[in-house]
Chains A and B, each alone.
Chain A
Amino acid sequence: QSVLTQPPSASGTPGQRVPISCSGSSSNIGSNPVNWYQQLPGTAPKLLIYYNNQRPSGVPDRFSGSKSGTSASLAISGLQSEDEADYYCAAWDDSLNGVVFGGGTKLTVL
Chain B
Amino acid sequence: QVQLVQSGAEVKKPGASVKVSCKASGYTFTSYDINWVRQATGQGLEWMGWMNPNSGNTGYAQKFQGRVTMTRSTSISTAYMELSSLRSEDTAVYYCARAPGLGYGMDVWGQGTTVTVSS
Residues of B whose CB lies within 8 Å of any CB of A are 35, 37, 44-47, 49-50, 59-62, 95, 97, 102-107, 109-112
A-B contact count (CB 8 A): 62
Residues of A whose CB lies within 8 Å of any CB of B are 2, 32-33, 35, 37, 39, 44-47, 49-51, 56, 88, 90-92, 96-104
Shortest distance from the beta carbon of B54 to any chain A beta carbon, whole Å: 19
What residues of B have a CB within 8 angstroms of the CB of A103 in the complex?
A: 44
CB pair B47–A99 under 8 Å, yes or no, is yes
What residues of B have a CB within 8 angstroms of the CB of A45 in the complex?
A: 37, 45, 95, 97, 106, 109
Prevailing SS type, chain A contact patch: strand
CB pair A104–B45 under 8 Å, yes or no, is yes
CB pair A101–B109 under 8 Å, yes or no, is no
Can you name 5 A-B pairs with beta carbons within 8 Å?
A: A33-B104, A50-B104, A96-B62, A101-B45, A104-B45
